[in-house]
Amino acid sequence: MFVCFSGKNDLDEFDEEASIKCQEEGTREVIHLSSGEDTPKDNPSYSPNFLSDNLDYSPIPLSYDVYAPIAPPYSPIPHNFESHVSDASSSPDLPPVTFLNNSGRSKEKEEVTDLKSCIKQLQSINKTLTAPHLYLEFRRDFILTDALKHSTKPKFDPKNQLKVTFVGEAGEDIGGLRREFWRLFVSSAAQEYFIGEASCKTFQPNVQALQDEVYERLGEWIAMSVVQDGFGFPMLAPSIYEYMVTGTCTCTNIPVQDIPEPRVSSLVLMICSAETVEELKSIFDDDTYANALFETGYKKPISSLTLHNKEELTNVISTYHTLIKVKAQIDQFVKGLESLNIHSYMVKFPAIMKTLFVKENEKLTAEYVKGLIKVKFSDKESLLRQKEEATYMHFVDFLDECEEGSIDVTLDDVLIFLTGSDREPPLGFSRTPEVTFLHDASRTMALASTCTLELKLPTCHNEYSSFCSSMKWSFKGHGGFHVV
């Protein structure tokens, strides 16, 4: 979208009767905003109270360009995408983005250099932070069912700000409940409509869900999560993301780990390891493997195969079973993403947006968790300070054990208990998570508020073993918001 702000007078204050004209220019929508017909110099009766008498009222030529993406037709992109390429944000073909500051003057927005700046632009385009609230209720055990049902109702608009209530639980959503909803929703959707390993998912070939437009609605929810404190859907296989960006199924050398079906991945590995023609042909004596090949439409008789056909076979089999078989589902999901311009930004900034859909190999560490939180101790002169410091050291030891895997609590569990999410949102938390202390001897368990991002540790445990047992139950045995 190309928006041109033009006017003969100072744009510090727009006329309420500004005219807006929309035209179509190719694939760009053009909006002209005019702040008035006459300048103060041309029209002496025009004297806004913010102008002083000693100002120069000479006409000021102004022209500001504001670019925002319009959803392109979902078709192949005229460039080859590679997952390791540098981001497209540095391309000279990409236009600048300008906005108006509070005074009404043009202010050049920073170029998209990372995920934070990318999401902020998306929030601005979709007016996320000023959108009306959308209050919805969900059952924890039926998160996905309730979400898909809500998205079919007339009042549902993915541009609105989501406010979550869990049925049967007290609590006002000021961020924590929504973060917890995104985590539960993504986990449930991944189990129900996707197949493959946890960090290498592809779409389930569910024809009924396709006809019911379930994948489009999933895309809308994921788009909402990107601009509303969520983390997208970082579970997809890299080849799926590559197709979503390029729109082409002519991928080659799809990694075997991207292939969702065990029988197909086993077939590919067997073809790759075949050293003789006889060994290659014998693979297809098994009907399971022969059917996996025939499903692709491969026409060459097995009797005429040679070792030169190995690469051709693996490409055909992996491409069909990973991409082509579920192309309709992926395309429908992409349509849902574009409800908030997410796909347009994936095409423009593939490397940056990739972290929202493909899991990074970074592992949560105890040092990261400790660096994320702020500890509030009593004054040094206080009699409580020594007890608090001892309790905090117990907590540090507990985090180390979580990282080492020596106890059945993970650092993800700790972060979920404190924030409602198993990872930090791309824009960070609304405030710094805090650790405070409980000095009531009757309080033996940890307490947390995911909205205020506060973790309260009990100081009644003198021994680490007692503290550790208490934390295990707190982080794993809790039943939801404000429940321990």
Residue percentage of the chain with pLDDT more than 70: 75
| Catalytic site residue from 118, 200, 451, 468 | 451
Domain boundaries, the chain: 2-111, 129-249+326-356, 256-322, 366-477
Q: Calculate the average pLDDT of the chain.
A: 81
DSSP 96: P
**Span 210-221, average pLDDT:** 97
Averaged pLDDT, 342-348 = 97
- Give the pLDDT confidence of 18-60 residue by residue, as tens digits: 333 333 334 333 333 333 434 343 444 433 333 333 434 344 3
Residue 228 and residue 73 in contact, taking contact as beta carbons nearer than 8 Å = no
- Our answer to whether residue 460 is catalytic in this structure is no
Contacts of 225 (CB under 8 A, 6+ apart): 182, 185, 186, 231, 232, 233
**In 10 A of CB 317, how many CB atoms?**
23
Rg over CA atoms, the chain: 28
Q: Residue 176: its pLDDT value, please? A: 87
Going by pLDDT thresholds of 50, 70 and 90, the confidence category of residue 300 is very high
**What is the rounded CA–CA span in Å between residue 59 and residue 169?**
61
Q: DSSP letter at 451?
A: T
pLDDT tier at 251 (50, 70, 90 boundaries)? low
pLDDT level of residue 378 (50, 70, 90 thresholds): very high
Work out the burial of residue 345: count CB atoms within 10 Å of its CB; fewer than 13 is exposed, 13-18 middle, 19 or more buried.
buried
Instruction: List, for residues 181-200, the tens digit of each pLDDT value.
Output: 999 999 999 999 999 988 89
Residue-wise pLDDT for 125-179, tens only, equals: 999 999 999 999 999 999 999 999 999 999 999 999 999 999 998 877 878 899 9
The top-level CATH class assigned to 366-477 is: alpha beta
Domain 129-249+326-356 sits in CATH at 3.90.1750.10
Torsion over CA of 155, 161, 167 and 172, rounded to 10 degrees?
-140
